[in-house]
Structure 1
């Protein structure tokens, strides 16, 4: 038992705290510890290593996929690789700096970023451009372009998680309703671009957080039915959406389309690939370095590299979720789960489109595909996730559960 040095009285509360740390493995607080050693001690090193490997794989695939496009556009052969190294470097810096923040600081950053990205999203119909792709998603800066929806996603997850967590407090605000209304606003503006892929991803992220917060299954099924109904309306009123759905449902794949080139490249790659630099799909696909980068990986390096990429994504998501299971703070659990789920599902959608398991979405493969907005926003999102999954001086969630059982 602990003893008060002034009165000599035994303090059972102090003893309980010490025993909790001994039994449940809480991380001790080290006063005056420099921020960098503290960050390295508390971060999930395997997950950080996984993200770094994904970025290196992206550079490797960029060396194979981007020279044909650079030649077509009159640039040096490795123009896009150099830009990917630059934006990827910024993404890694953003990831590390964000992961060093505490949960409160991350929440403040998310609120500011979300408001700015939402305003930018609203102004896209007036100031944005489509770069000839049929969807107004970007702001052109001349030397680069910005896609607001990429920066909107991490901020939205954290803000929505904050609202949902606040609703569980005594006399708290109606956070569930507020977060749902906010989700509808975001999804509506994304659908106007149109960008149904990002809209579905945002809705999925909110649904995962709502499920973790204890949503009844019948309500989630009702939401799924509403999504299907909205898809039917979009199919009837959007030529862009209908064309992609028709192409997906068609029993025959047009070999001259991007999906046709991608599926053929994956088939040709086999288990070990056709050899480094020997692939041909990069000469046919205009988006070989972005949306269909996995087709280049499958053709030149085979199923082996594709499985390794999938394993890296799985490792990052699963390790993050296991760490979040030990977290006491409802806000941190919800926000971290939403970020991890959105990160993993975006990767799944990108690869699912390439093998024709899903309709074409125009979504990048996180940290592997080329794209400045995607890389930097991905670095911020994963940095937030790592900040939430860092070890903190606390007991585990099972501490609370056992207390209730007793």
Structure 2
């Protein structure tokens, strides 16, 4: 295949020369790491096609391939198509998230999933990218159209969504949505006094959750006073990092995946630490950090407020999710069931984050002034 010329006016040609290829490469690296760890987190004795562990590995590889395709497809959208896609995505999964409160599958006391033939889906994962674009659109429109109550509408959408997530309950996702909206209002020019008020409200909400929500209280107590029985997963994950040392035990040689129930999902970072070592974990952190910093730097020169708010919200959500997963694996914060983007097991997580980063690539493409619609 001949290399694409800058004079190529096809859809692929225009996309290739306008998309942020550095971020695209970094995301491809994350998908590759996800593939490697899907293999690493599967016990070696389970490599038979009929074994549940093997089937889970095959499904994860399939979702990673599908997610890569979805991300590329979303990255080719125009700004108008991004808005319309996000609006449809947000409306559909807003109602499906509400549906989980009535007919959701209960896991550990939470109703976050909908059971479908052959698989389950977590609607709030898919709601997130649509929600971020919609709130950015509303806030930006309030600037562009005098008298339009966009900021109040964005705040109302957030409060209703946060209430639904709290009722599931999903405190981690509620926190993520809260920080995304806070960052969008901050990027819009929130006054310093309101920044202080918002920060105080977040602290008060955390204190209230600790005092009145039992499972939040339990997790914080286990974080502050861990024991071998009550904080088994966190302590086992820490021992995995210790076993791996600087260079790891080698692919397939780790033991944590045999004893840790969430080795493929919430604690996949511990599998990486045991089998591939400190340097590989540092590389994973570097890739995530480079994606976040690259996006933020590009937004410094972005003239369109909607793009700044939408892309800023998307990258804040992405970076916070990665931080929470890795920090909880290292026992730096209380454990929280939040996946590591593109790396943790889960079809909903992989496809939803693929849509989210596809939106980011579409928003940060180079455009002429007339393309901002």
Instruction: Between 249-258 and 200-209, report the one with greater CA deviation.
Output: 249-258
Task: Tell whether 2:115 aligns with 1:140.
Answer: yes
The alpha carbon displacement at 1:72 in A equals 12
The alpha carbon displacement at 1:52 in A equals 1.1
Structure 2 residue aligned with 1:51: 27
Confirm or deny: 8 A CA contact 1:253 1:260 kept in the other structure: yes
Confirm or deny: 8 A CA contact 2:241 2:274 kept in the other structure: yes
The alpha carbon displacement at 1:324 in A equals 1.8
Task: Tell whether 2:6 aligns with 1:34.
Answer: no
Distance (Å, rounded) in 2 between the aligned partners of 1:184 and 1:167: 18
The alpha carbon displacement at 1:311 in A equals 0.9
* Match runs of 1:110-129 below 5 Å: 110-129=86-105
Distance (Å, rounded) in 2 between the aligned partners of 1:373 and 1:86: 12
Distance (Å, rounded) in 2 between the aligned partners of 1:138 and 1:68: 30
Structure 2 residue aligned with 1:368: 343
Structure 2 residue aligned with 1:380: 355
Confirm or deny: 8 A CA contact 2:222 2:231 kept in the other structure: no
The alpha carbon displacement at 1:255 in A equals 7.7
Summarize the Cα distance change of 1:258–1:142 in structure 2 as closer, same or farther, 3 Å threshold. Answer: farther
Structure 2 residue aligned with 1:239: 214
Structure 2 residue aligned with 1:260: 235
State TM-score, norm by structure 1.
0.85
Structure 2 residue aligned with 1:349: 324
Helix, strand or coil for the counterpart of 2:144? coil
Distance (Å, rounded) in 1 between the aligned partners of 2:98 and 2:49: 31
Which protein is bigger by CA-based radius of gyration?
Answer: 1
Helix, strand or coil for the counterpart of 2:282? helix
Confirm or deny: 8 A CA contact 2:35 2:64 kept in the other structure: no
Structure 2 residues without counterparts, runs of 5 or longer = 1-5
State TM-score, norm by structure 2.
0.93
Structure 1 residue aligned with 2:61: 85
Structure 2 residue aligned with 1:221: 196
The C-alpha deviation readout for 1:5-56, integer Å capped at 9, x for no partner, is xxxxxxxxxxxxxxxxxxxxxxxx97x8110111111111111111111111
Helix, strand or coil for the counterpart of 1:136? strand
Instruction: Between 147-156 and 71-80, report the one with greater CA deviation.
Output: 71-80
Task: Tell whether 2:225 aligns with 1:271.
Answer: no
Structure 1 residues without counterparts, runs of 5 or longer = 1-28, 396-406
Superposition CA RMSD, Å: 2.2
Confirm or deny: 8 A CA contact 1:327 1:333 kept in the other structure: yes
Summarize the Cα distance change of 1:278–1:104 in structure 2 as closer, same or farther, 3 Å threshold. Answer: same
Summarize the Cα distance change of 1:180–1:256 in structure 2 as closer, same or farther, 3 Å threshold. Answer: closer
The C-alpha deviation readout for 1:216-257, integer Å capped at 9, x for no partner, is 122122122212222233223322221111111216565861
Task: Tell whether 2:302 aligns with 1:327.
Answer: yes
Distance (Å, rounded) in 2 between the aligned partners of 1:290 and 1:68: 18
Confirm or deny: 8 A CA contact 2:132 2:310 kept in the other structure: yes
